[in-house]
Structure 1
């Protein structure tokens, strides 16, 4: 009735109190916390780290995902029951005749992922993030959230967090970060920690906390052009804390040659629902050969719950704002890969987003307008595209961890005073820089735009003025086209079968490099002669 296809990827506990438990962690050797309970939610909420679980019972299956959607789970119903997997290829190997979901593909072009539970395969569904998803033999299902994406109710202990002063909140937030990193160091057990270092606030904060905890065997790396400002600042950030730093120089010609053999990388990274994340791809091809990098290293990227806010103006009491408006704003903000978000407003997408927003919309406060946007951003773009970047680490044999995604950090941040919920992350960046200065004994330039140097109120005023004059969109677009045609990370090199003039024309018409990637991927032309995407039903 319920069949888990990729058994070799899981650790099996046949006599678990929940049923036949299959456990998978992002760090090898990390096993589930023992909890004496038959309640799946209570058990799931006791777990730490990055993990996924499947529980098989006689008449149902539990597909359990953590708040990072660390292990994406997909399933297919057929004549004999349900087939479940954490690897989409395990399903396609058994069912090579699956066809493309054309509506999902249309949506994918604009977002880079499929919204909700659909995948690009007809009939294949994905389990929701951060939940205990019970799939029953009759095809019905129930979803129990593992964590909240909006503020706690007033009768919850977490409600007190919102009322803290800025300094009190940062003290609490920092304490939760320390707990999260202590757990990561515990399960790492002395293995090398490999840190992708950009010079921005998240990776800088990550390093500062590791320094505070006296972490050893830390190796930082940065990739790009050797004379880039980012590389220079990243080197200073690492060395200022006494950590080793190496640089991976991106060579466009070599990237293009290596990309010709990247079909296996694409297959391993898209999980049936997301555009493969290629940002770290070339660097990883070099790091696995680097003498300083240990073969069992654990990658610690700066992924975090912080910074998912956008369109903060929706909190204004002078603005009339409905759930329908929230759907349109989400599409306008995220459905931009082709530069035509209006084309992304199709009934298929609107219906799914309306369902997602309804799960979080209370209308109880002006702030709920913004937090519902954050909640859907986290469950869709963050969980399906950003977090899915870790598939690249797995492909090259590395373990990984998201300490800044631990539940304690998540709960505290979601309930932070409203001051901290701004898209520019002004207060958060100041906190990260101050902690770095304390641990390094020196201040460094922050690798970020001028906006982060201004008070949060000034940032919002500046955005509003430029937006009303029409200059903001124009300036952003021209700067974006220029950058994408000669990307500092070499991403322009990964556009086979198109001349630079053709790429420039698409960019000027509004498309992004990700949008071009999405079209090439759907056409199986991102890597020449690849066979990843299923055909349309005839």
Structure 2
């Protein structure tokens, strides 16, 4: 909480997706939807609810709400961070927008923050509420910002955190039964939202999108199109087709090649998307772009279709928690290192200046210290950090592709009931998604989850080793022993054989010229930063 000097004006600059209602004393802006007792609220109905329940925060939905009454302004972001608001304030302006570029039309004399540029290079996003630009900040996942013009008071609070409150110690059969009932209600709400509209599912070989299509089939959805993409006959797409065929859903494959990516990269459509979806905070998500563009241009999907991705059952079910947390206490310094290894790997962490490395470590330490002070298990702090950073700024950032093409989307696996259920599951049932996999096996009406137990058995020895850091030590030693020649060989294979073929956006020489590059996002981060700095100059 802090106090600013007198602010002369405030401006609200939002995209056309927002419903609004204004009068002489109040303004309400809303995008998205929420449910109250399974009753759907969106558009003007959602605004009416907010008008009549000024102190209430909708419990379940994907939304961004901005409320102005007299001297008070309030911004509410949902529990997944599916939509983000940005704000700028100085002595003259308080500006709010869902697009940073709208703020920059008013705030001309902006400057980039060097530490944040380096953070972006290694993470692909800027952490906390920061952006690449000085004085422009965001309202993050599960947060509410309030501002009072009269006393110049600005406050940013967390109204929800993905941290356990009270563990559910029920036996595994009861937990599976409870989860099954919740999923039934989730898809009941989905049916209310979608009505009879066409549903589009990006169907990979992963468990989450399988769960989506399984439940669509079980709940009687028939107007469903599944799609996959990548290099011809890539493993993910072959699994995807097999699942769609079993369920009787239409399936389309969009071929990716180095040539196709090179052509897409040069189009004005791609560049417009790439430099509009970023909001100077997170690298745009690109892998769905050519596929969605293809489906639209070839009239495969309806104009009012709704995309239903599988984000992010893998995460909420514990799939990102490392086995080492199960039997070893992790102190703050160790947790900082584990977070860096997980989230700061777009480019090698050591490729940025030591000053920036220390700045990032300091931000992480400051962020997690309050959780250690609350005696939170380090495993759940690790998960919490993932929830508020990577899930919002990388995984759910993929929704901006659908936004760009003016398509709606829905996130069944981010339903509030599911979030609250998984938040309270004990660690031993989340490690390696133990409960999630057993649940999937128990509901497998169409024989599409039959191999999950096999995967679990195969990984047991590896999990045992990971607990004692043996795998990590071996990997570290191996990396140190790899010669430059072998690294170049790896890059060559990745460039031509990667299942998404996306290195074709750049020449092979360009790819190799990026110092310590790790993947396609290494090159895209360099390209993005150099371009925005050039345009700024």
The correspondence of residues 351-430 of structure 1 with structure 2, limited to 5 A, is 351-362=362-373, 364=375, 368-422=377-431, 424-430=432-438
- Inter-CA distance 382–110: structure 2 relative to 1 (3 Å threshold): same
- Inter-CA distance 407–456: structure 2 relative to 1 (3 Å threshold): farther
Q: Which of 317, 334, 337 lines up with 1:325 in the alignment?
A: 334
Number of residue pairs aligned between Structure 1 and Structure 2: 506
More moved, 410-419 vs 92-101: 92-101
Answering whether residue 154 of structure 2 is matched by residue 149 of structure 1, we say no
**Cα distance between partner residues in 1 of 2:477 and 2:233:** 29
What is aligned with 2:473?
A: 468
Answering whether residue 511 of structure 2 is matched by residue 503 of structure 1, we say yes
Alignment gaps of 5+ in structure 1: 153-158, 525-530
**Cα distance between partner residues in 2 of 1:412 and 1:70:** 19
**Cα distance between partner residues in 2 of 1:73 and 1:346:** 28
Classify the secondary structure of the residue corresponding to 1:52.
strand
Checking the alignment, whether the CA contact within 8 Å between 1:221 and 1:247 is kept in structure 2 is yes
**Cα distance between partner residues in 2 of 1:519 and 1:143:** 32
Checking the alignment, whether the CA contact within 8 Å between 2:440 and 2:449 is kept in structure 1 is no
Q: Which of 120, 127, 130 lines up with 1:108 in the alignment?
A: 120
- Inter-CA distance 273–233: structure 2 relative to 1 (3 Å threshold): same
More moved, 86-95 vs 479-488: 479-488
**Cα distance between partner residues in 2 of 1:327 and 1:351:** 9
The correspondence of residues 55-454 of structure 1 with structure 2, limited to 5 A, is 55-137=67-149, 140-152=153-165, 159=166, 161=168, 163-261=169-267, 262-304=270-312, 305-307=316-318, 309-317=320-328, 319=329, 321-340=330-349, 343=352, 346-362=357-373, 364=375, 368-422=377-431, 424-435=432-443, 437-438=444-445, 440-441=446-447, 452-454=455-457
**Cα distance between partner residues in 2 of 1:502 and 1:21:** 48
Classify the secondary structure of the residue corresponding to 1:247.
strand
Report the CA distance between 1:135 and its aligned residue: 2.9
Checking the alignment, whether the CA contact within 8 Å between 1:426 and 1:452 is kept in structure 2 is no
Deviations 1:479-529 (A, max 9, x none): 97444553211211123xxx314424648x4532212210111001xxxxx
Checking the alignment, whether the CA contact within 8 Å between 2:257 and 2:504 is kept in structure 1 is no
**Cα distance between partner residues in 1 of 2:167 and 2:430:** 16
Checking the alignment, whether the CA contact within 8 Å between 2:495 and 2:504 is kept in structure 1 is no
- Inter-CA distance 480–444: structure 2 relative to 1 (3 Å threshold): farther
**Cα distance between partner residues in 2 of 1:349 and 1:359:** 17
Report the CA distance between 1:346 and its aligned residue: 2.8
Checking the alignment, whether the CA contact within 8 Å between 1:85 and 1:91 is kept in structure 2 is yes
Deviations 1:264-310 (A, max 9, x none): 01122102200011010111110112333111111111102334533
- Inter-CA distance 9–441: structure 2 relative to 1 (3 Å threshold): closer
- Inter-CA distance 485–56: structure 2 relative to 1 (3 Å threshold): farther
Deviations 1:95-128 (A, max 9, x none): 3442222211111001000011111112111112
- Inter-CA distance 19–145: structure 2 relative to 1 (3 Å threshold): farther
Checking the alignment, whether the CA contact within 8 Å between 1:303 and 1:402 is kept in structure 2 is yes
Q: Tell me the C-alpha RMSD between the 2 structures.
A: 3.1
Report the CA distance between 1:430 and its aligned residue: 4.4
Deviations 1:363-422 (A, max 9, x none): 636xx1110011011101111111111001111121111110011100100111323322
Checking the alignment, whether the CA contact within 8 Å between 1:194 and 1:297 is kept in structure 2 is yes
Answering whether residue 520 of structure 2 is matched by residue 513 of structure 1, we say yes
Checking the alignment, whether the CA contact within 8 Å between 2:326 and 2:427 is kept in structure 1 is no
Report the CA distance between 1:232 and its aligned residue: 1.5
- Inter-CA distance 98–364: structure 2 relative to 1 (3 Å threshold): closer
**Cα distance between partner residues in 2 of 1:26 and 1:394:** 15
Classify the secondary structure of the residue corresponding to 1:24.
strand
What is aligned with 1:25?
A: 32
Classify the secondary structure of the residue corresponding to 2:233.
coil
**Cα distance between partner residues in 2 of 1:534 and 1:312:** 45
**Cα distance between partner residues in 2 of 1:7 and 1:443:** 41
Checking the alignment, whether the CA contact within 8 Å between 2:349 and 2:357 is kept in structure 1 is no
Checking the alignment, whether the CA contact within 8 Å between 1:302 and 1:402 is kept in structure 2 is yes
**Cα distance between partner residues in 1 of 2:345 and 2:243:** 33
**Cα distance between partner residues in 1 of 2:281 and 2:209:** 27
- Inter-CA distance 278–441: structure 2 relative to 1 (3 Å threshold): closer
Checking the alignment, whether the CA contact within 8 Å between 2:227 and 2:252 is kept in structure 1 is yes
More moved, 370-379 vs 452-461: 452-461
**Cα distance between partner residues in 2 of 1:382 and 1:206:** 19
**Cα distance between partner residues in 2 of 1:325 and 1:339:** 18
Deviations 1:213-257 (A, max 9, x none): 112311111111232222121011112112111111113313211
Checking the alignment, whether the CA contact within 8 Å between 2:176 and 2:435 is kept in structure 1 is no
- Inter-CA distance 78–148: structure 2 relative to 1 (3 Å threshold): closer
